[in-house]
Amino acid sequence: MFGELLKGLQTTLRYMFRPPVTVQYPDVKRPVRERFRGRHELKRFANGQERCIGCSLCSAACPADAILVVPAENNLEQPTSPGERYAATYEINMLRCIFCGYCEDACPTNAIVLEHQYELSFYDRQTSIYTKDMLLVPPDQGHGEIPPILTQLGDKRPSPPAQIDL
Amino acid sequence: MDDIVVQVLIMLVQVVVLVLAISTGFAYLTLFERRLLARMQNRVGPNRAGPGGFLQPAADAVKLFFKEDVIPTLVDRGVYLLAPALAVIPALLIWAVIPFGCLNIAGDYQACFADPATNPNLHNIFQLADIDIGVLYLLAITSIGVYGITLAGWASNSKYAMLGGIRASAQLISYELALSSAVLAAVMMAGTLSTHEVIYQQMTMWFVIPQLLGFVLFLISGTAELVRAPFDLVEAEQELTSGYNAEYGSMKFALFFMSEYIKMIAISAIAVTLYLGGWNAPGLELLGSLMTGMAGPLVGSIAVGLASFLVFLVKVVLILFLFVWMRASWPRVRYDKLMYMGWKWLLPLALLNVAMTAVFVVVLPDALIHSVALFVASLVVMAVAYVVSSRVKPAPSRSRIKMVQPEVPRRPSS
Amino acid sequence: MKAEGTMIKTEELQINIGPQHPSTHGVFRMLVTVDGETIVDLKPVFGYLHRNHEQIAEVNTYLQNMPYTDRLDYFNSMANNQAYAMAVEKLAEIEVPERAEYIRVIMVELTRILNHASALGFLINDMGAWQTPLAFGMREREKILDLFESTSGARLMCNYFRFGGVVRDLPPDFVPRLQSLLTGLPTFIDEFERMLRENEILRIRSEGIGVLPKEVAISYSVTGPVLRGSGIPYDIRKAEPYSIYDRFDFDVPIGTVGDVYDRFLVRIEEMRQSKRILEQALKQLPDAEGGHINPKARQNIRPPVGDAYTRIESPKGELGFYLVSDGGQTPYRYKVRAPSFINLTPLSDMCRGYKVADVVVILGSIDIVMGEVDR
């Protein structure tokens, strides 16, 4: 009656002498994989200008309606971003966001990127809304040259290119 | 007069120290269990509070103390409040007769190893009371614990708790029989009900050898008595959302928890006392004589006392390990099957064991011979039981699952 | 047991198991009528996790629905993705390149293994084994989830499939990592089986419990391991080979009795078969030139007017998506045939006459995810 029960005991005993597989989270942080979709970041170009041109395509692509973009006209002397407009307000509600990555796919200038930060916790709903200041990377962390199409300033400016139609 | 006052004082100190020690033991048993379970499950277990999680029990205790003490509106207030106490007090009372070492404050270590009948000068402070009916007392007190559980289940006025309470009363009463019968056989071997004398009788050979069957039965029914996995139906979390204590919170819950774990240590201690030679181990006498020769009788006595306590502790921990190990490995038995096993397997086997022991002890008066004979008989009985049980429920055949290749319809050629 | 008339009449008791209960696998309620410990009647009540999935889908564009399908059966997001992608592809007549089909099969078979590993863990946990099998199952699941993370960017909500393929090609180290996982997998399955298959307590708890006879199973249109446990060799991968399943050689395990034990064994065996499929798929996997997605396939589609139903063998059973298009950007009608939901319907028939403790075990053996039941 009890013979087969011993096999179970044997298994558990064997595991007792093996190292645990636990990653002791706050002390040890398992590096995420390269493609991991974590918290968003708003990128910059190498010269420090914001990549976001306020086109709201991310907002349109978002299945969860988590992104709010309010564009504004660039100051031509000191443009915030190349091109005509920039995002005056850029907010992502992290409680709504489902981290599907469609905003990243939709962005014509690769401004919004889902990066590797995954520790998102809030005390209330207000703080779950990430504003532009929180999302924007520091000016020295920009990369890439401004594509020529965005620098053709003038009256006959093209509308923002749609890299990926969505 | 003064003598009595001193004795009472000593007794009080003993009691306070014992209760504190057991409570600490309970606290660290929870840690021991959690760490061990974790390791068996490839995890680490609680290791945040203090070095290696050493302060985890303290953290738990503080948390439970400061929890809001909720009493649901529709409970039977009096019984509801009484039940935790009824559970925890018997658990503590069990310890009164358990010798967890032998420290003779009279200063003569040899009294520990001498025949108690001819040597009444033993003042073992590692045993609260060596009463003549010690084993009977143990059985009586362990059974009282069921009242706490049943009453808690009833008074909570909750369906889950009530089912837990009903299960508890049925399970504990049925397993009490098998447990007592197993103990009875050991008592017959020892010829005494005094716990100290039972240990003395095991100086030459631990009862686990002649009473192998009894020991196994004791462990099984002891686990059921403790409502430990795999017999933890009373508080089956998956079915009854922790059963009888579902409506209890804060310290009242902690008391139930405490009673369970203290009983767990106690049952292990009883198993050690009855079957594994108690605090005794080979070499203790040698240690005593060495220390006495080096530093006098009092030091020798203390050395023996501490060493015997250590031996006792090691044995208890081994049995506790077994309890935890079983919990980590096996699923839970179903209620009706538990009853089936209790009445149709354990009780007949326990009665057979009693009969066997009685016959062998009387027919073969020499201790060694009847021990060996009983050992062999135990093995035979267990083998027969194993064969019969596997006949009753044969192992599943490999053909229980068939592998088939269903016909694949051709794809329409489009 | 005595005959009915001679027993003492006792009052029946109604118990609500759930919605807040540790072993209802989510917010699921069972209104149980018990006589002592025996189940007289059981009424499943669900809807506590209703998220209006199908209605939302009619507002979203076709592509925007893809991440929502992840959240139906959150153990098997890849399988849900596949079913939905296939439905849209059928509706819009999109071709899928060969390599993409292989990637899809690999992902879905991995999903099957992880689903069964954790489902069996939960089943044994419901029987009262204190989390050890669950911990082992979860450990194995974690390895697969890591593969998912490196491929799709998320462990659970993969959102990896697109119409006409998958969103990105496999990462370069995927194949060796999958191979090393596959070499370790039989050890896990064997160990799991050895630990529990012949365990007396498990057998007491599962043999003859929750028997679902063939006819009843068919009449409730049960699918998946539950149906196969009842002894019907029905597997959509064989019955109506979709994707490229006709290229693989694998067996369909079926039970003989239809009890919890059979479902347990069927799932263990299915993990082995999935491993076989994975090995074959790795061997046949075309080079990267095949392309992971049909370059002509637009994601922002407006399918022609019409309807389409596709079904796949998800780890839990037949998962089907029914889509009606009115030619617009969003589906006109979107319906999910959720295996968890349909497998749950015979629950009261399966439980009647057994004990309270068996209810949670039977429920565990059906392997439901409330996200899919309530949608």
| Kind and range of the H or E run holding A85 | strand A85-93
Whether A23 has its CB under 8 Å from any CB of chain B: the answer is no
Q: In this structure, is residue A15 part of a structural domain?
A: no
Q: Which residues of B touch A1 (CB under 8 A)?
A: 345, 385-386, 389-390, 393
Whether B340 has its CB under 8 Å from any CB of chain A: the answer is no
Question: Could you read off the pLDDT of B28-46 as tens digits, one per residue?
Answer: 888 888 888 888 888 888 8
**What pLDDT score was predicted for residue C322?**
92
Whether A142 has its CB under 8 Å from any CB of chain C: the answer is no
Q: In this structure, is residue A17 part of a structural domain?
A: no
C198 min Cα distance to partner chain A (Å)? 6
Cα separation of B44 and B345, whole Å? 38
The answer, yes or no, to whether residue A1 has pLDDT greater than 80, is: no
DSSP bridge pairs for A50: A44
Question: Could you read off the pLDDT of B149-172 as tens digits, one per residue?
Answer: 888 888 888 888 888 888 888 888
The answer, yes or no, to whether residue A156 has pLDDT greater than 60, is: no
The count of structural domains within chain A is 1
Secondary-structure breakdown of chain A: helix, strand, coil percentages, each rounded to the nearest 5: 20, 15, 60
Q: Which of C64, C198, C201 sits opposite A63 (nearest CB)?
A: C64
Question: Could you read off the pLDDT of B252-303 as tens digits, one per residue?
Answer: 888 888 888 888 888 898 888 888 887 877 877 777 778 777 777 777 778 8
The answer, yes or no, to whether residue B318 has pLDDT greater than 50, is: yes
Q: In this structure, is residue A148 part of a structural domain?
A: yes
The answer, yes or no, to whether residue B119 has pLDDT greater than 50, is: yes
Closest CA to C357 of B233, B72, B369, B317: B233
Whether B331 has its CB under 8 Å from any CB of chain C: the answer is yes
Residue B130 CB coordination number (10 Å): 17
Q: What is the CATH number of the domain that holds A70?
A: 3.30.70.3270
C63 min Cα distance to partner chain A (Å)? 8
Confidence of residue A161 (pLDDT cuts 50, 70, 90): very low
For C296, phi then psi, to 5°, come to: -85, -10
Please report the number of interchain residue pairs, chain B to chain C, with beta-carbon separation below 8 angstroms: 140
Contacting subunits of B (3+ beta carbon pairs below 8 A): A, C
Q: In this structure, is residue A79 part of a structural domain?
A: yes
DSSP B206-236: -TTTTTHHHHHHHHHHHHHHTT-TTS-GGG-
In this structure, what token pair is assigned to residue A29? 């942080």
> Between chains, do B41 and C131 touch, taking CB under 8 Å as contact?
yes
Please report the number of interchain residue pairs, chain A to chain B, with beta-carbon separation below 8 angstroms: 46
Q: In this structure, is residue A8 part of a structural domain?
A: no
Count of residues making up chain A: 166
A65 min Cα distance to partner chain C (Å)? 10
Tell me what percent of the residues of chain B surpass a pLDDT of 70.
93
Question: Could you read off the pLDDT of C164-200 as tens digits, one per residue?
Answer: 888 888 888 888 888 888 888 888 888 888 777 777 7
**What pLDDT score was predicted for residue A164?**
38
Instruction: Please name the residue of chain A whose CA is at the shortest distance from the CA of residue B321.
Output: A13
Residue B195 CB coordination number (10 Å): 27
What is the domain range of residue A76?
A: 31-163
Q: Which residues of B touch C255 (CB under 8 A)?
A: 400-402
Mean pLDDT (whole number) for B320-348: 84
Instruction: Point out the residues of chain C with pLDDT beneath 50.
Output: 1-2
How far CA B204 is from CA of A1, B59, B116, B271, B305, in Å, comes to 32, 45, 15, 17, 19
Confidence of residue B412 (pLDDT cuts 50, 70, 90): low
**What pLDDT score was predicted for residue A166?**
34
